[in-house]
Amino acid sequence: MKKIVSLLLVMLMVFAFVGCGDNNATVNSNNVAIENATENATEEATEEATEEATEEATEEATEEATEEATEEATEEATEEATEESHYPISFTDGMDREVIIESEPMTIVSLAPSITETVFALNLGERLVGRTDYCNYPETALEVESIGSLREPNLEAIIALNPDLIIMSTHASEEVLAKLEEAGLTTAILTAQESFDGVYEILSQMGSIFNVEDTSNELIDKMKADVDSVLNTVKDVEKKTVYYVVGFGEWGDYTATGDTFIHEMLEMAGGSNIASDGEGWSYNLESIILNDPEYVICSELGDTKTILEETEGYMELTAVKDGKLVEINQDLLSRQGPRLADGLKAIAQLLHPELFE
């Protein structure tokens, strides 16, 4: 305030002197005087202004710093308070068991590939101390010690690792569970109905268990967005008839029949599954030949595609002859984990390549 007033006074003085300009000399000396006066006044004003500014700035800075410090302190206090109030948590797992997590689990053993993928997707990979032979994604998972197969894991190895939490999924066996409980290890069985919602539920449970709900929610939202994107892209397009090969030849002909979740994914991705009337994965070659699907999807494992191309019955199919026998990474479809949306997208890309250029 003071500086503004001083400036105004100086400007008034200047205008006053200019306004009153009768004598040249007076004007000149007045001008010089005014100039000097203005200079002095400006100098003073600037000095004062700078002083004030610095003062104020320092005040503000200190205020801000204090505010931030207080905020952080409050946050930490809140966090600690939150943590201390987040655990212990208890919930009902997929097998209707009451599971109690006392504190944040720092070491995990995963007994399912889908769970392993989820652990890494939630940025908790360093906590994984044991996984099954089949947990092959992401690649870093392979560096973790394997404790055996899905159905018959090496119980001694698991107990030796003494993990804070063991997570099982769909292939959980009661005997394994009993032994683990006997050893006093906390075990959770996370399963849900085979569907996207089921995956979201598991992800959400994992988020809660490890107190990383933000990350898990982010993941869920991303998957939902991906799914919606696919659904929108194929919304108005004509469905392509498709057959999904699970088994063929000497093992009998097996496919994703109408009662399976893969069937749903095929339909969601803009496909029309010719085996929708089948049940229990069992199908037969006659029906495949008669329905002659536009696309045939098989696994990219090994020589599946090459063998199919040479198998009587399959090799005469239009899809095979037209080069529409396509491969997919079947882990994307069969694992109820974070890559399920990728699987849906993969199917859609195979069936409607032109929409995804």
Partner 1 sequence: MQRNKKNNLMILVMIGLLFLTIVIACVIGSEPIPLTQSIRLLLNKIPLINHFINIEDIDIKIQNIIYIVRIPRILGAMLIGMALAGSGVVFQGVLRNPLAEPYILGISSGAALGATVTIVTGISFTFMGLTSISIGAFIGALLTMVVVYNIARVGLKTSITTLLLSGIAVSFLLQSLVSLMISLNRDQVEKIIFWTMGSLSSIKMSHIEVVYIPIIISLLIFLFFSRDLNVMLLGEESATSMGIDVIILRKILLVAASVATAFSVSISGIIGFVGLIIPHSMRLIVGPNHKYLTPTSLLAGAIFLIVSDTIARTIIAPGQLPIGVITAVIGAPYFIFLLYKNTSISRG
Dig out the tokens for 80 from the structure: 């600690």
Helices and strands: H and E segment counts in the chain = 13, 11
Residue among 198 and 313 whose Cβ is closer to partner 1:
313
Residue 293: CA count within 13 A, CB half-sphere: 27
Q: Is 279 in the site for partner 1 (CB under 8 A)?
A: yes
Closest distance of CB 180 from partner 1, Å: 19
Q: Is 316 in the site for partner 1 (CB under 8 A)?
A: yes
Q: Is 253 in the site for partner 1 (CB under 8 A)?
A: yes
Q: Is 313 in the site for partner 1 (CB under 8 A)?
A: yes
**Interacting residue with partner 1 among 194, 292, 309, 327 (CB under 8 A):** 292
| DSSP strands (E only) in the chain | 89-92, 98-101, 108-110, 128-130, 165-168, 187-189, 240-247, 254-255, 271-273, 295-299, 325-328
Confirm if 297 and 347 have CB atoms less than 8 A apart. Answer: yes
Q: Is 136 in the site for partner 1 (CB under 8 A)?
A: no
Residues in binding contact with partner 1, number by CB under 8 A = 32
Q: Is 277 in the site for partner 1 (CB under 8 A)?
A: yes
Q: Is 299 in the site for partner 1 (CB under 8 A)?
A: no
Q: Is 257 in the site for partner 1 (CB under 8 A)?
A: yes
**Interacting residue with partner 1 among 136, 215, 233, 287 (CB under 8 A):** 287
Q: Is 322 in the site for partner 1 (CB under 8 A)?
A: no
- Adjacent-strand bridge partners of 242: 273, 295
Dig out the tokens for 304 from the structure: 């599946």
> How many residues make up the chain in this entry?
357
Strand pairing report for 98-101 and 254-255: unpaired
Binding to partner 1 by CB under 8 A, coded x per residue (else -) over 179-218, reads: ----------------------------------------
Collapsing DSSP to helix, strand or coil, 89 comes out as strand
**Interacting residue with partner 1 among 285, 327, 329, 349 (CB under 8 A):** 285
Which residues sit at the interface with partner 1, rule CB under 8 A? 149-152, 249-253, 257, 275, 277-280, 282-287, 289-290, 292, 302-303, 307, 310-313, 316
